[in-house]
Homo-oligomer: A and B are copies of this chain.
Amino acid sequence: MKFTIERVSFLKLLSTVNVAIGQKSPTPAFLNFKLEINDNGLVVTGSDNDITIQSVLPFMKEDKEIISNYTEGSTLISAKYLIEIIRRLDSQLVTLEIIDDVIVQISDNKSHFQLNAMRSEEYPDLDLSVIGEKVSIKTEDFKKIISQTAFAASTREVRPILTAVNFKANEGSAEFVATDSYRLAKKIYEIDSSASFEANIPVKVLNEVSKLLEDNEIVLNIASNKVVFEFGNTKVFSRLINGDFPKTSRMIPSNYPFVLQINASRFIDAMQRVSLLAIERERIVKLSIDSDLVEISSKSEQIGSANEKIELFQYEGGRFDISFNVDYVIDAIKAAQSEDVVLSFAGEMNAFRVTSPVDETIVQIITPVRSYY
């Protein structure tokens, strides 16, 4: 195998695939990129066994030659060192060549590197088939869905199912739900497919894919135990998380006698200030509402107390106090992505709802906490 390649395109390709590669692995081959020159161009594969990314760089792009002087073949080469070398070179072109079975030379006009490599046969067999129900989503919409739901998933592995976003589709209507059992985010989205399925996709994969996206559209292929994301010349393969996602409809109250509409950024600023003293583990602040009053307060025996009143708001309901984790409420308000936000309360000890007054597709539910002052 030998090829000369446009350095910046090569670096971008490697950076994409590198997202799948870990710092450590019980399988040393997984610390490498698999590079292969075949009829399609340069195919680069990276994996940590849970996530696999494969991306292709064609020989030509828009009549411009990207890869030249190539011969077919394949090799495994340290992801960490290859990406650093390609990043640091300052030439426009770089040449890679297997000069011995297990040595790859990387060079431009000035610098020469000889990296120890592995034979490509040593790479584990990976299932790279693209099967399952196909759903296309606009890139912009996909990023928005992920930003509105993913933060509510659990980051702890105690209950693995809660580290997934539950993606359900039925007759053209899809639902994305994430919950860490203290809060929940639910997004409704219409899809152009009559497919019916339910899949628990690891939130980590969704976040990574969302960051990588550049093209107009992403295609999800949902099979019984895996999902394949396709965008541009890249495919991302991930297992699904096994188990039943909790029946979240139970968490959502049906009746809200107390309804507050308020400016989102003004409310967030006030909560951030008042919560400066709420350093304990639960980051609790108290919200007190009445027809002529919205006040946020916090108190710590050791440090002191804080309070702030907000003057502009609309409220329906009687005098009402509730305490909550301030970070959960700030996350939920940001996810509403609207100028004003509506908080609907069922009672002082019931879960409450955060919605946008202009977008019915996104709903957030938060459990309150008990407060002792």
Most B CB within 10 A of own CB, among A84, A89, A304, A309: A304
Are B111 and A270 touching (Cβ within 8 A)? Answer: yes
Are A111 and B306 touching (Cβ within 8 A)? Answer: yes
Contacts of A98 in B (CB 8 A): none
Are A274 and B304 touching (Cβ within 8 A)? Answer: no
**CA separation between A270 and B111, bound complex, in Å?**
8
Contacts of A304 in B (CB 8 A): 81, 103, 113-116
Residue of B nearest to A297 (CB): B112
Contacts of A250 in B (CB 8 A): none
Which listed residue, B84, B115, B277, touches A113 by the CB 8 Å rule?
B277
Residue of B nearest to A266 (CB): B110
Are A112 and B307 touching (Cβ within 8 A)? Answer: yes
Cβ-based interface call for A141 (8 A): no
Cβ-based interface call for A225 (8 A): no
**CA separation between A309 and B116, bound complex, in Å?**
22
Contacts of A302 in B (CB 8 A): 116
Interfacial residues of chain A within 83-121, with CB under 8 A of chain B in the complex: 84-85, 88-90, 103, 110-116
A195 CB → nearest B CB, Å = 48
A141 CB → nearest B CB, Å = 34
Residue of B nearest to A274 (CB): B111
Digitize A260-274: 1 where CB-to-B-CB distance is under 8 Å, 0 elsewhere.
000000000110111
**CA separation between A305 and B274, bound complex, in Å?**
57
Are A81 and B277 touching (Cβ within 8 A)? Answer: yes
Are A88 and B303 touching (Cβ within 8 A)? Answer: no
Contacts of A272 in B (CB 8 A): 88
Add 20 more A-B contacts to A88-B272, A113-B277, A113-B304 (CB < 8 A). A78-B303, A81-B276, A81-B277, A81-B304, A85-B276, A88-B276, A89-B273, A90-B269, A103-B304, A110-B308, A110-B309, A111-B274, A111-B308, A112-B306, A113-B276, A113-B305, A114-B304, A114-B305, A115-B303, A116-B303
**CA separation between A115 and B303, bound complex, in Å?**
6
A76 CB → nearest B CB, Å = 14
5 closest A-B pairs by beta carbon, nearest first, are A115-B304, A111-B308, A113-B306, A114-B304, A88-B273
Residue of B nearest to A308 (CB): B111
A280 CB → nearest B CB, Å = 14
A163 CB → nearest B CB, Å = 32
Are B303 and A81 touching (Cβ within 8 A)? Answer: yes
Digitize A269-307: 1 where CB-to-B-CB distance is under 8 Å, 0 elsewhere.
110111011000000000000000000000000111111
Are A114 and B306 touching (Cβ within 8 A)? Answer: yes
Digitize A36-64: 1 where CB-to-B-CB distance is under 8 Å, 0 elsewhere.
00000000000000000000000000000
Contacts of A307 in B (CB 8 A): 111-112
Contacts of A115 in B (CB 8 A): 277, 303-304
Residue of B nearest to A111 (CB): B308
Contacts of A88 in B (CB 8 A): 272-273, 276
**CA separation between A89 and B270, bound complex, in Å?**
9
A65 CB → nearest B CB, Å = 26
**CA separation between A307 and B113, bound complex, in Å?**
7
**CA separation between A114 and B269, bound complex, in Å?**
19
Contacts of A273 in B (CB 8 A): 85, 88-89, 111
